[in-house]
């Protein structure tokens, strides 16, 4: 179970990097749509860094960092490998993006009593990721 801020950030880092890897693979698989997937990969890594920076620059012993209100189950946030044609793969990536969005929402809600900058950043990421879903829907 994820019950510390550090664990939340590590899990977030892992799923954003996985999203970036999957997106880069699809960019190679579909050269005509490479731009869309490369942008997706770049965004994932940027989002990883945004959350990490919010944590690193906000973490302080003045506030509460070690106690999450409701622990999260990491198994609830597993990404699928896209293994179909373009339309199916775009659908898989939409599902994956929804998983990442759900993680960000859950992380924000359960860390709201902790470092204020971290949940705020997770919610900003949710908005950005919803825009990416619209791009993927054009391919699905």
- Smallest separation, CB 59 to another protein (Å): 5
Contact between 1 and another protein by CB under 8 A: the answer reads: yes
The token pair at 36 is: 């869309």
> Are 23 and 38 spatial neighbours (Cβ–Cβ below 8 Å)?
yes
Contact between 73 and another protein by CB under 8 A: the answer reads: no
Nearer to another protein, 11 or 128 (CB): 11
Contact between 83 and another protein by CB under 8 A: the answer reads: no
Count of beta carbons in the 10 Å neighbourhood of residue 138: 9
The CA-based angle 81-87-90, given to 5 degrees, is: 45
> φ, ψ for residue 2 (rounded to 5)?
-95, 115
- Smallest separation, CB 51 to another protein (Å): 14
Contacting residues toward another protein, per CB under 8 A: 1-7, 10, 56-67, 69, 112-114
């Amino acid at each position: 179970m994820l019950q510390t801020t550090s664990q939340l950030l590590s899990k977030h880092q892992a799923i954003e990097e996985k999203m970036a890897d999957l997106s880069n693979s699809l960019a190679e698989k579909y050269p005509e749509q490479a731009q869309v997937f490369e942008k997706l990969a770049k965004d994932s890594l940027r989002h990883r860094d945004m959350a990490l920076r919010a944590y690193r620059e906000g973490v302080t012993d003045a506030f509460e960092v070690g106690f999450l209100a409701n622990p999260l189950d990491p198994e609830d946030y597993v990404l699928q490998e896209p293994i179909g044609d373009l339309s199916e793969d775009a659908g898989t990536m939409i599902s994956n993006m929804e998983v990442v969005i759900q993680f960000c929402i859950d992380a924000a809600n359960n860390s709201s009593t902790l470092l204020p900058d971290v949940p705020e950043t997770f919610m900003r990421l949710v908005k950005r990721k919803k825009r990416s879903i619209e791009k993927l829907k054009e391919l699905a």
